[in-house]
Amino acid sequence: MTFLAVDIGNTRLKWALYAHAQQGAQPLATGAEFLENIDKLADGEWSRLGPPERMLGCCVAADAVKRRVEEQMEELWVVPAHWVVASAAEAGVINGYDHPTRLGADRWVGMIGARHRMLANGPIRPMVVVMVGTAVTVEAVDQHGRFLGGFILPGHGIMLRALESGTAGLHVPTGEVREFPTNTSDALTSGGTFAIAGAIERMVQHVRRRCGTEPACYMTGGAGWKMAPHMLEQFELVESLIFDGLLVIAGTRAGAA
């Protein structure tokens, strides 16, 4: 049963088409569009796909964006759009948020993808799951699959724009990441990168202390590749983490139905 997975963030929509909604499946086709281009999906890349029989997505962008994506689907296919909402528990992950449904759906799906990847690859461990997108999120999950809590911090772009708009002298091109930056561009780029790295490393320490064992560390998101080389801890970069989570959820729900 062909399956379309859709991940709508605050900057881009990412999608992947699979022959079956099954953990570990390899996509038949994938794509990404900046949100300003999503109204062209039905005339563009999606017009070349075979019709999906099922669809599951997660969306943290505005409801209007989600509607526009549903309209693109309706132009081509009859498949109903289903969107994940974070809940108290799903697919072996327990939600420790004060108000479980207020947790970003992408964060929830990413943790579920990471948990099942960890279970498939080795011994059970706690996890630190990092998503580097428009914002950066850093989640802690214990060995029992309980989401303990997570950080939200500004992503690279937001940090730079905040500094630019709040100062007179920080309008400079992107620089390099340096241990000891000696120009404004490098100072800004390095400051953002190490701010994110520092927060992540603190969460790794928190998890070690709370769980008493070494966490498995996963990183994903459009800007994950920028962060991964600068981490002291070993992070596995898994670009497909959200799609992996959507596959698990779709598979579990189909099995339960």
Ligand X SMILES: Nc1ncnc2c1ncn2[C@@H]1O[C@H](COP(=O)(O)OP(=O)(O)O)[C@@H](O)[C@H]1O
Ligand Y SMILES: CC(C)(COP(=O)(O)O)[C@@H](O)C(=O)NCCC(=O)O
- Cβ proximity to ligand X: between 109 and 211 the closer is 109
Does position 240 bind ligand X by CB under 6 A? no
> Nearest CA to 35 among 66, 13, 3?
13
Residue 196 makes CB contacts below 8 A (sequence gap 6+) with 132, 136, 153, 155, 156, 227
Among the listed residues 2, 10, 143, 185, the single contact to ligand Y using CB under 6 A: 10
Annotated ligand binding at 193? The verdict is no
Among the listed residues 4, 135, 219, 247, the single contact to ligand Y using CB under 6 A: 135
Q: How many CB atoms lie within 10 A of CB 162?
A: 12
**Partner whose footprint covers residue 252, from K ion, ligand Y, ligand X, none (CB < 5 to 8 Å by kind):** none
Does position 57 bind ligand X by CB under 6 A? no
Does position 134 bind ligand Y by CB under 6 A? yes
Among the listed residues 10, 30, 184, 185, the single contact to ligand X using CB under 6 A: 10
Q: Which tokens belong to 67? A: 């509607």
Annotated ligand binding at 134? The verdict is yes
Binding site for K ion (CB under 5 A): 9, 106, 133
Among the listed residues 152, 198, 202, 214, the single contact to ligand Y using CB under 6 A: 152
Number of residues that bind ligand X (CB under 6 A): 12
Query: Is 106 a known active-site residue?
Result: yes
Place of tokens 């340096």: 178
What's the min distance (Å) between Cβ of 174 and ligand X?
Answer: 10
Interacting residues with ligand X between 117 and 176 (CB under 6 A): 133-134, 155-157
* Residues of each annotated binding site for substrate: 97, 104-107, 184
Q: Name the residues annotated as catalytic.
A: 106
* Residue set of the binding site: 7-14, 97, 104-107, 134, 184
Residues forming contacts to ligand Y in the complex (CB under 6 A) are 9-10, 60, 102-104, 106-107, 131, 133-135, 137, 152
